[in-house]
Amino acid sequence: MNRRRFVYPAARALQLAGLVSVICLLSAFTLQPISQEFSTSGAESSRVFQVHNPGSQPVAMRLEMLQRLVDEDGTETNPSARQSFTVFPTQFVLEPGQRRNIRVRYTGPENLEREQSFRLLAEQLPVDLTGSDQDTQSGTASSSGRPGQGSIQIMFRYLASVFVVPSNAAGPNPVVTLLERVSADEAGLVLRFENSGGRHVILRNLELELRLDDDSQHRVAADALEGIKGENLLAGSSRTHFLPLAAELVERVRGVGLSY
């Protein structure tokens, strides 16, 4: 039997040995807490977050407030919310082992109908702070410092949850409605989950009760609800979800209820 042999010529071996090596400069930081509620006015309209650099290298950082918008398929978008908040500081260098408090104040409208959802973005800037003093002072990112070496800076970012809650906000009110029956190869129900209440709700222990045409109940447990179970349903938002279901049950469903 002939065996296929892979032989690298000497020139190829030298070429591989001479490739530019890659160094991953991993400078992590932490942000706490990951979720906070704000009032629309008064002392509780201002909160403090804290960032911490547990590593051995300095980290250049910036912070920004963003809106939190989630469409019916669960896609989140984050346009700027600078007009509704002040953040201090917004840019700085976090030294190794350093902790720093970040003051965030809500400055938007006070007369809100329901809770509003935002994000605090904390991210590492792509600045190499490990070079010479000259590089740092001039604001230029230095290379790895040795010929034939490159560097990849791995950026960290956090998106903390921020909820601005008016004093008269009602509680959450999640409801589910049946939009469509699907009887094709992948039979099931298209459902809409809507939170018409005044505050967000996390559907941690979600279960469904399907009312059938003979007034009996068919229970759908949490383990069959992947994709919607545990989701954060923001105040005033809705989500669509496809629930796979046995074909013989699809046409018999007359109503849907939920518990969470």
The two tokens of residue 177 are: 């409605």
Residue 28 has a pLDDT of 82
Residue 24 has a pLDDT of 37
92-106 pLDDT, tens digit per residue, is: 999 999 999 999 999
C-alpha–C-alpha distance, residues 60 and 127, integer Å: 7
The two tokens of residue 73 are: 């398929």
Question: Can you say whether the dihedral through the CA atoms of 54, 56, 58, 59 is positive or negative?
Answer: negative
**In degrees rounded to 5, what are phi and psi of residue 12?**
-65, -40
Structural domains of the chain, ranges and CATH numbers in brackets:
23-164 (2.60.40.10), 174-259 (2.60.40)
> Please, which pLDDT band fits residue 184 given cuts at 50, 70 and 90?
confident
Q: Is the pLDDT of residue 86 over 50?
A: yes
C-alpha–C-alpha distance, residues 112 and 57, integer Å: 43
Q: Is the pLDDT of residue 11 over 70?
A: no
CA-based nearest residue to 242, from 204, 187, 175, 173: 187
Residue 130 has a pLDDT of 65
Largest Cα separation within the chain, whole Å, is 84
Q: What angle do CA 81, 85, 88 make, to 5 degrees?
A: 120
The two tokens of residue 229 are: 């179970």
Q: Is the pLDDT of residue 149 over 50?
A: no
- With residue 69 as reference, give the H or E element that holds it: strand 69-70
Residue carrying the six token digits 């409208």? 109
197-248 pLDDT, tens digit per residue, is: 999 999 999 999 999 999 999 999 988 999 999 999 999 999 999 999 999 9
Query: Higher pLDDT residue, 156 or 80?
Result: 80
Q: Is the pLDDT of residue 146 over 80?
A: no
C-alpha–C-alpha distance, residues 181 and 239, integer Å: 17
DSSP state of 96: T
Q: What angle do CA 64, 68, 74 make, to 5 degrees?
A: 140
CA-based nearest residue to 158, from 68, 49, 30: 30
> Please, which pLDDT band fits residue 127 given cuts at 50, 70 and 90?
confident
> Strand 201-202 and strand 232-233: pairing?
antiparallel
C-alpha–C-alpha distance, residues 6 and 245, integer Å: 53
Q: Which amino acid is at 159?
A: L
Averaged pLDDT of the chain:
85
Question: Can you say whether the dihedral through the CA atoms of 241, 242, 248, 252 is positive or negative?
Answer: positive
Residue 142 has a pLDDT of 36
